[in-house]
Amino acid sequence: MNVLFAGGGTGGHLYPALAIARALVKREPNVQPFFIGARRGVEHDVLPGTGFPHILLDLHPLYRSAPWKNGRTLWSLFAGWQAIKSIARQQQARLVVATGGYAAGATIAYAATSHTPLVLQEQNSFAGQTIRVGSRFAREIYLGFPEASRSLPLGARARCFDTGNPIEPPLAHADRPPRDKARAKWGFTPGVSPVVLAFGGSQGSAALNDLVAGWLAGAAHASSDVHVIWATGKDHHDRYAHLASNRVAIRPYLSPIAEAYAASDIALTRAGAMTTAELCAWGIPSVLVPLPTAAADHQTANARALEAAGVAIRVDQKETTGLQLGEVVTRLAHDAKARDEMARRALQRARPEAADTIARRILTLLGSSRS
């Protein structure tokens, strides 16, 4: 059973697709995923190492701030549609899975015109343009945030399922290391509390790093007992490495990030869909600083949804300083009751088995007995 996957441009679109594909193959080895991506997206670097067959097309995004460039976008969409049509016939595709991004647009167009069954997965609390358009043709739509259904056409909402975002499930509590042992890996003494995990995504964030540095360099942190695990991003590490101490562990990146999650009481991070899904699955309260330049400001929408659910505190990057952000984080760090309530609500929203849930629904559509 051949299934076409389309999604990319960013890791936020590609990694959910990979998680679903792996869950499908795990449940039904006869499923053969085939990925369609763009040469200019993150999939150019990631897909060759996954073992999944794939093709990278010369596709372009929609240039919202430079509409005169959209001529090449429309031409690449048409050329991509022709290539996808040929691929789908060769693969005898039974179903299309699209997770957003410009690589998904042409594939959704193919599915709609060829009447190939289509399912969508939307990661954010406000659906992206590709998913909003494609939802009219989809058999099912899997939501990372239940709030996303409000941004979809009325007729599509009945086909929405609150599955959560497909992530790597956290270790079961019985398999996790004791908290003191988890913290010892970061050079922290046993019994230390609380621990804040600060990071701005796998590549880091210059703006968030500057805020964290402003907090740590201030007198307020010097007199506090708060400990910090800080991932700066590889390109930013040298600039901040001098701030490391017995209470601040600074790393260029976190791999595996589970070791940091296991040691942390609070997360200070961006509001990306996959990051917040992981934090909910681990039951970690968060202080979210949304990326203000994210497409359609979707990170702010994510942070607002989680704040309204009592899972996170939202801080506007443009309206805060490092010292002010530090005050918010420190206040929460010393309020165990508030942290416990936020952790409880985070776990209520968590969907750690989302990839498997989506895989079972897709197999039902394919008519597999392993659904």
371/369 Cα distance (integer angstroms): 6
283: alpha, beta or left? (left if phi > 0; alpha if psi -120 to 50): left
* Mean of all residue pLDDT scores within the chain: 90
Which of 155-169, 172-186, 281-295 shows the lowest mean pLDDT across its residues? 172-186
pLDDT at res. 218? 81
Note the pLDDT tens digit of each residue in 325-335. 999 999 999 99
Domains of the chain: residue spans and CATH: 2-168+353-366 (3.40.50.2000), 173-349 (3.40.50.2000)
Non-local (6+) Cβ contacts of 67 within 8 A are none
pLDDT at res. 63? 57
Count of residues in the chain: 371
Whether the pTM exceeds 0.85: the reply is yes
DSSP calls for 4-19: EEE--SSHHHHHHHHH
137/254 Cα distance (integer angstroms): 39
Q: Per-residue pLDDT averaged across 329-357, rounded?
A: 96
Note the pLDDT tens digit of each residue in 105-154. 889 999 999 999 999 999 999 999 899 999 999 999 999 999 999 999 99
More confident residue, 146 or 179: 146
Q: Per-residue pLDDT averaged across 279-291, rounded?
A: 97
Q: Per-residue pLDDT averaged across 232-243, rounded?
A: 94
Hunting for tokens 């939202």 — which residue is that? 314
Q: Per-residue pLDDT averaged across 227-231, rounded?
A: 96
Long-range pairs for 112-117 at CB < 8 Å and ≥24 separation? 112/137, 114/85, 114/88, 116/88, 117/365
HSE toward the beta carbon, residue 39, CA cutoff 13 A: 6
CB 6 within 8 A of CB 99: yes
DSSP calls for 252-281: S--SSTHHHHHH-SEEEE---HHHHHHHHH
More confident residue, 170 or 222: 170
Q: Per-residue pLDDT averaged across 69-74, rounded?
A: 60
